[in-house]
Every structure is written in structure tokens, then in C-alpha cells.
Amino acid sequence: MLSTKDKIKYVAFKLFLEKGYEATNIREICNEVGIKPSSLYFYFKSKEELFFSIYDEVWGDKIRFIENVEELKKNISPDVKLYSVFKNTVEYCSKDICRQKFLLRYHLFPPEELIKVLRDKFKYWVDRENLIIANLVRDCIEKKILGSRISVADFLKDYNKFTTFQIIEMIISNIKLSSTEINNLWLKFWSSNYS
């Protein structure tokens, strides 16, 4: 059973995703939760605070999941780790497309009143994700798995474009990828650029 606070966040997430921040109003959230608006303000001091508590949770869950991918701790080749991170990321996203759609919505079309804070937060979380990838790429270069001509920044750009598009495709077509398909995608990405 969810606490009142969690119920509010659950309902608000759904509405912020489907209707957007501006079009979602406190009264509607409260109606669905079964409380009065004044009760919501006991848990969150404003609509904006409620929104960011959800936004940070969604990003936080995703990044912590990636940081804790098991293979990262094993004593294996960095390119295998890279593949594991990609695979786990895509699988994680495909398990809960709604959350990725939420992140995409507020990345592509941030509400004016939130735009500055959103930009900062977005940068913080993406940097944290990029750190993992960048370290693995540097490892690959050090161990001569990738040529020393390869720029880490360019790799990151390609990698992010690649994953972003996989996620957008899942959102638009609403189709989950199988393990084999994910593997094939990775092979295509890796072989066409880095071997």
C-alpha cells in the first residue's frame, strides 16, 4: 500500500506525463488521490517542488541503475562492460517506457517557468551517465581495443545519439526490443564505427 505522499507522486507523474506540467492542476491530482488540495501542500510546498521531486526520482533511479550494472564490477574487458551498460540501459528503458517519455517530454519541451532548473538538472544527470561511458572508452583505448585516434567526446556523442534514438523509437512504436535485437543493434553500432 502506497503512502499518501507516494500516491500523490504516482498520480502527478501520470498527469505530468500525459497532460504536461501547465495543463495539470493540483485539484485534479488531489481528486484522483482522494485528498483535498490543502493536504497536498502538507507534503510539497508548491507544484514546482512536486514536479522536481518526481523528475529527480526518475533520473536518479535510471542513473543509479546504470551505475550499478553488475558487469562494471567484474574483471572483464572494457568493451564487454560497454556492451553490458548499453544492453542494461536499453532493457531498463524498455521496461518502463513511460518514464523515458517523461524525461524526453521535459527535455524537448520544457515549461518556461522550469526551463532554467531543468537545464541544470538535465546536465547533471547526463554528465553522470557520460562519466561511466567515458571511463570505459578510455579503458578501451588504453588497452588498444579502440584505436588511439578515437576521441572520447565523439564516441560519447555517437553513443548518446544512438541510445536516444533507440529510446525514441521505443516511445513512438511502443515496441520492446528482444535480447537478440539489442545485441544486433550493438554489433551494428560498434562494427560500423569502431573496428
Partner DNA sequence: GTCTATAAGAGGATAGAC
Partner DNA sequence: GTCTATCCTCTTATAGAC
> What does the binding site for DNA look like in residue numbers (CB under 7 A)?
4, 24-28, 34-39, 41-42, 45-48
Strands (E), 35-138: none
By CB under 8 A, the residues from 6 to 65 that bind a second copy are: 18-20, 22-23
Give the nearer residue to DNA in terms of CB position, either 2 or 80: 2
Q: Which three cell numbers stand for residue 60?
A: 536518479
- Interacting residues of 100 by C-beta distance below 8 A, sequence separation 6+: 93, 167, 170, 171
Give the nearer residue to a second copy in terms of CB position, either 6 or 113: 113
Tally of residues, the chain: 195
Residue 36 binds which entry of a second copy, DNA, none, with Cβ cut-offs from 5 to 8 Å by kind? Answer: DNA
CB of 35 to DNA, least distance (A): 4
Residue 112 binds which entry of DNA, a second copy, none, with Cβ cut-offs from 5 to 8 Å by kind? Answer: a second copy
Give the nearer residue to a second copy in terms of CB position, either 104 or 134: 104
Contact 29/12 with Cβ under 8 angstroms? yes
Burial pattern 12-37, b for ≥16 Cβ within 10 A else e, equals: bbebbbeeebeebebeebbeebebee
- Regarding 153 and contact with a second copy (CB under 8 A), the answer is no
Give the nearer residue to DNA in terms of CB position, either 37 or 147: 37
- CA dihedral over 79, 83, 88, 93, signed as positive or negative: positive
Site residues (vs a second copy, CB under 8 A): 18-20, 22-23, 104-105, 108-109, 111-112, 161, 164-165, 168-169, 171-173
